[in-house]
Chain A
Amino acid sequence: MTTLLQVIGLTKQFAEHKVVDAIHFNLEEKTSTALIGPNGAGKTTTLSMLTGLLRPTAGNVKMLGNDLRSNIGFLPQYPQFHPWLTALEFTEMAAKLNGVAAKKAKLEAQKTLEFVGLGDVQHKKIASFSGGMKQRLGISQAIVHKPKLLLLDEPVSALDPVGRREVLDLLKGLQQETTILYSTHILNDAEEMTDQLLFLQNGKLVEQGTLREVRQCFDEQNYVIEFGSEEEAKLFANSSNHVIGCNVYIEIVNEEPTMKMLFQRLSECPYTIRKVERQTASLEEIFMKVAKKA
């Protein structure tokens, strides 16, 4: 994979307070990266520096082989539009400002609006749009010029479940064509649409890696075996296992016991086994662990 963006020691300090503290990360081409962190972690400030809206106190951002500002599409958390413009006029303007030729801009704008599901209302004034429609228009203005990098600040946090699902599906469709960096504090979204995770806390990048790598680092994996009765569970468990009701929790330490070992033991035991499950921590649980570690 080719590295598209290099972020080197990016820092933003307001008075004495470091909002973003020397963060380093790379974005590979056509990958999706989630910038995760609680409110106030520095996610929006990081994105603002990447868009050029905020000047970093230190560090820099390099987009390999390209001018950064011409090659990004940006969607703020609460996009504000000029209400007297129509969706088509706004998207066309966005395309032209990003260097799309005037003749092509209208066609591209129409295609993009169709893609985000606003084709039918492209001639309506933005003032009459709902929150979900505005978010889709926000995506349309961000992608109309086919940017190499798409920066999205909490793209779905302000939407209802239906709008959230629609926008997430749209973004998944874009994953194949462009590199996406988006901030979120809704961890389910990150779990659903992420190649790389960046954990920000108090302005510091406390953990980064692919979902798999992060899981390997922080996931305490367990087997859970449900027996027919509490008594059977107690009889089966040894001193290192936990028993809760009919369930026995077997912790995997240094990759032991392996699946083979466990099944061998289970096949030899005379008890009723209702369910065997390998538990994986949710991203939310991992995030809590990362936060504690930091």
Chain B
Amino acid sequence: MRGFNVLLQKEFREAWRSWKFLWIPLVFALLGMSDPLTNYYMMDILNAVGNVPEGFEMLMPELMPLDLIQASIGQFQTIGLLVMMASFVGAISKERANGMATLLYARPISFGAYFLSKFVVMSTICFVSILAGFGASVYYTTILYGTLDVGALLVSFSTYYIWLLFVIAVTLMMSASFKTVIATTCAFTVIFVGQIIDMIIGIFWTISPWKLASYGIAKFRGTIEMSDYWWSLVITLALTIICIGIGIVMMKRNASMTKI
């Protein structure tokens, strides 16, 4: 792990100076606050927009605070993931393509250290982002719908964070393995097509990393088997470690692709 601290410092500086620590959490905060606000003010919004026929009445479902958190997670799962993956997918492949990696790869660094330094910084950005997202969602939910159970919140936050670690590992692994365009396609396919498949035919299985995002809340509601939750968690962590391992190997193998 030679050079890990130095590379970590470099990655943090990059993330900080390119405003990733600000704008990605901001996107998540906006996504987090959108569901409690839009749901609560839906009738007012419809009235304000106009074109509502006279006598029109809409029966709004009575939402519980946990439903709003679940809805926010749904937002993170689409736009949030899209933003996050798009900003991380070139982390290794772009550095190789533009030659920035050359001056690092020619030094006696450990590829494991370099890969992990990127992983740690991205995980930190993700942590701050979902903290902002959950924070915004919880704040408005509490104000508008009532208090949330802290335990449920912590479980859903942690579970969702583990899912995000898997997403980062997949994204970085693809970035280490392919050129940016192919890496983007592959990473998006694995994560989003995986989600779609899980949504369409996921009824046939109960253990899957792609289910983890919703399992945090579901666990608290008691709508899933505990063993399914734990197995999904273990498999996701195992796959994350495997992706990191493959990523490090591929980063080393593709070092010669760096532009000189």
Contact = CB atoms under 8 A, between A and B. Distances in A.
Interface of A: 44, 47-48, 51-55, 67, 69-70, 72, 74, 76-82, 84-85, 89, 93-94, 96-99, 138, 141, 153
B227 interface: no
B107 A94 contact: yes
Contact of A74 (B13, B14, B103): B103
Contact of A93 (B10, B17, B259): B10
- The list of the 10 closest CB pairs from A to B, nearest first, reads A80-B99, A84-B17, A74-B106, A69-B108, A51-B106, A96-B6, A97-B107, A80-B100, A70-B108, A54-B256
Contacts of B3: 96-97
Binding site secondary structure of chain B: helix
Contacts of B22: none
B254 to A, nearest CB: 11
A54 B108 CA distance: 14
B109 interface: yes
A82 B10 contact: yes
A67 B108 CA distance: 9
Given A55-B256, A99-B108, A84 B99 contact: no
A152 B256 CA distance: 17
Most A C-beta atoms less than 10 A away, residue of B3, B14, B108, B258 = B108
B255 interface: yes
A84 B18 contact: yes
30 contacts: A51-B106, A53-B102, A53-B255, A53-B256, A53-B260, A54-B256, A69-B106, A69-B108, A72-B106, A74-B102, A74-B106, A76-B99, A76-B102, A76-B103, A76-B260, A77-B260, A78-B99, A79-B102, A80-B98, A80-B99, A80-B102, A80-B103, A84-B13, A85-B10, A93-B6, A94-B107, A96-B3, A97-B3, A98-B107, A153-B260
A157 to B, nearest CB: 14
B231 interface: no
Contacts of B182: none
Contacts of B258: 53
A97 B6 contact: yes
Contacts of B9: 93
Contacts of A52: 105-106
- Most chain A CB neighbours (cut-off 10 Å) among B14, B256, B259: B256
Contacts of A53: 102, 105-106, 255-256, 258, 260
B64 interface: no
A80 to B, nearest CB: 4
A291 B105 CA distance: 34
Contact-residue size bin, chain B (C-beta under 8 Å from the other chain): 20 to 34
Interface of B: 3, 6-7, 9-10, 13-14, 17-18, 98-100, 102-109, 255-256, 258-260
A48 B260 contact: yes
A103 to B, nearest CB: 13
Contacts of B107: 69, 94, 97-98
Contacts of A74: 102-103, 106
Nearest to B18: A84
A287 B107 CA distance: 33
Contact of B13 (A70, A72, A85, A96): A85
Contacts of B105: 52-53
Given A96-B3, A97-B3, A81 B103 contact: yes
B8 to A, nearest CB: 11
Given A84-B13, A97-B109, 13 more contacts: A47-B260, A52-B106, A69-B106, A76-B99, A79-B102, A82-B10, A93-B9, A94-B107, A96-B6, A97-B3, A97-B107, A98-B107, A98-B108
Nearest to A50: B106
A48 B256 CA distance: 8
Contact of A82 (B6, B14, B109): B14
Given A53-B258, A89-B13, A153-B260, A94 B103 contact: yes
A74 B258 CA distance: 14
Contacts of B106: 51-53, 69, 72, 74
Contacts of B17: 84
A98 B258 CA distance: 20
Contacts of B98: 80
B231 to A, nearest CB: 41
A94 B106 CA distance: 10
Contacts of A93: 6, 9-10
Given A44-B260, A77-B260, A93-B6, A141 B13 contact: no
Nearest to A51: B106
A50 to B, nearest CB: 10
Contacts of B259: 80
A97 B13 CA distance: 16
A99 to B, nearest CB: 7
